[in-house]
Structure 1
């Protein structure tokens, strides 16, 4: 039997936490469930991470990193509309193939709202920092155009919400999105 290094275990915890937090949210997920999924004890889990919040923030950071990498790879060497199309297509593929990333994103926003309400600003700061890294990643290929970046991110958040609510692709709610995108030249059909 091959033993994993602490770094490999840490990676397995982040993957497990991504799945668990995506499904149950911050408050609905126990560290016991994460430890069980990884196959380690809770005390070992806390040797890798100081607490549940650190595990959640590591998973959230990885989620943002994965999305940033998706956008960077898709837009490499492209600008403007070509970059918009490439990033949108790549993101659509990612959320279809790895829905836990989309669900974790949504859980991140809920966790921030709940934490801010309770006076805990650490969650918000960490998630907002990640969001700004994501914003900057999109902003540059779009010519550092504020309106283009805002529009791209707004469409992305709407898509996140519609997918999270389970609207199937053929539902009429998508038609307005497709029509708006076609009118702006963002979608060919």
Structure 2
């Protein structure tokens, strides 16, 4: 049997961290739960990541990058407008229906910012803001740099996020 390398194990930890933090948040998630999901010991986790916060940040970056990449791939080769809008809408619906932990992890990140910054920890807020701006820019450019259309896309998306998070069907499913 081939031995799994540290980079591959690190990727497994990030995936497990996304799943765990998405469900129970930063304070509700133990590193023991992440280790158990991956099938490693807690000390091994800390050989890959310096602390729980670093795992949370890696999970948050991954979820935001996955969202940005879904938009980027969907709109690739399109010249803005209605086709790009529909392609990104469909890609996002597919992402959150097949991997809801991606959305829930981002929402956990948003919810954690204020508490972290109140304690003097600006890192999570910086990661959230930078990730959000990368997502915004990807969508904005894909929609032909139309600010109103970009704002409308995100407004509808946030409504969909809220409905998904509280377990109600989105507009298309009602």
Provide the TM-score with structure 2 as the length reference: 0.94
Counterparts in 2 of 1:49-68, with a 5 A limit?
49-68=49-68
| Structure 2 counterpart of 1:89 | 90
Root mean square deviation of aligned Cα? 1.4
Offset of residue 117 of structure 1: 2.7
Q: Which structure 1 residue ranges, 5 or more long, are not aligned?
A: 179-189
| Structure 2 counterpart of 1:24 | 24
Counterparts in 2 of 1:11-160, with a 5 A limit?
11-78=11-78, 79-160=80-161
Offset of residue 42 of structure 1: 1.0
Per-residue CA distance 1:91-128 (angstroms, 9 max, x = gap): 00111111111111111111112212333211100111
Q: Which of the pair has more CA radius of gyration?
A: 1
Offset of residue 148 of structure 1: 1.2
Provide the TM-score with structure 1 as the length reference: 0.87
Q: Say which SS state the counterpart of residue 119 (structure 1) adopts.
A: coil
Q: Distance in 1 between matches of 2:164 and 2:122?
A: 28
Counterparts in 2 of 1:150-189, with a 5 A limit?
150-169=151-170, 174=171
Offset of residue 146 of structure 1: 1.3
Q: Say which SS state the counterpart of residue 23 (structure 1) adopts.
A: helix
Per-residue CA distance 1:104-161 (angstroms, 9 max, x = gap): 1111111112212333211100111011010111010111111111111111111101
**Number of equivalent positions:** 172
Task: Name segments (4+ residues, structure 1) moved above 4 Å.
Answer: none
Offset of residue 2 of structure 1: 2.3
Q: Which structure 2 residue ranges, 5 or more long, are not aligned?
A: none
Q: Distance in 2 between matches of 1:127 and 1:94?
A: 19
Q: Distance in 2 between matches of 1:127 and 1:95?
A: 18
